[in-house]
Amino acid sequence: ELLSTGYRGWFLGHIHRPDTPRADGHPFYLGSVVGRHPGETGAHGPVLVELDAAGDLRARRLDLAPLRWENLDVPVGAMERVSAEELLSRLLAVVQNHSQELGPALDQTLAVGFRLRLTGVTPLAPQLRLALERLRAEAPSLVTDHGDTVLFIDRVTEDLAQPLDLADLARFPDPAGLLARRLLVLEGEGDPVPGVEDADAERERLLRLGQEALGTGALGTGVIGTGTIGTSARQSAFQERGPALAPEEIRQRLVATGRRALEEILATKEAGHAAD
């Protein structure tokens, strides 16, 4: 509708997240001149619009915001040694390398705040979580610099998983096996799952329950598990109220919560065997 007006350009406000400037008449959001929240990532600043004698527009964003936010995933699957010191070195290297990639875009930037997320499937996941907890306790402020720009790590979270043989676990009718079946349903594409007559129907049911859980603040394990596992860091995702999510986002949250719950079940089971 805006294009049908015949105007040369539309520059929209209100939305904080900026769009790439358009010079072809298509509407775009200018965005805020500085990211006021860690979720408002990337380049912010005013848009310079030039109009030539022929009436053609040129628009480009000027990276003048004094503060910039970046959210990055940090793969850790290749890490061979796990300690708070090694993890700190890895995180600082990540922010330095990313800042170098941004190059001249940081010329006017006084500070860049990073939110990092550790990702990967690794048998060292438990040790990495412990290292992260120690790092949080011993170094709550992680600061370095890149030229005249201060780089600080605002938050580090994790989305780590241990390698699990879900198909093998699903053969057993115990809590771990029942949870493994539901994870196979969520991670598969309608493939047969032991003990599940209709994987597609079960998948739809779990997604529906997941959406309901997000609306009420219920824990994820109440949807895909036995409801006997306490709250963990990853389960907190299901305590956040908000607008309806797409089915794929719900599936990802259910899988993440379920895998963490399964790890805890297996760890408890292993500890019980060791005590015997």
DSSP, res 189: S
- pLDDT band at 3; cut points 50, 70, 90: low
Is the pLDDT score of 67 beyond 60? yes
- The reported pLDDT for the residue numbered 140 is 67
What type of residue sits at position 263?
A: E
pLDDT, one tens digit per residue, over 68-81 is: 999 999 998 777 77
The dihedral through the CA atoms of 115, 125, 139, 147 has a sign that is negative
Structure tokens at 224: 């895909």
pLDDT, one tens digit per residue, over 151-193 is: 999 999 998 988 999 999 999 999 999 999 999 999 987 678 9
Taking alpha carbons only, the member of 114, 115, 107 closest to residue 148 is 107
DSSP, res 70: E
CA distances from residue 106 to 20, 224, 247 in whole angstroms, order as listed: 18, 45, 37
Phi–psi pair at 8, nearest 5 degrees: -70, -30
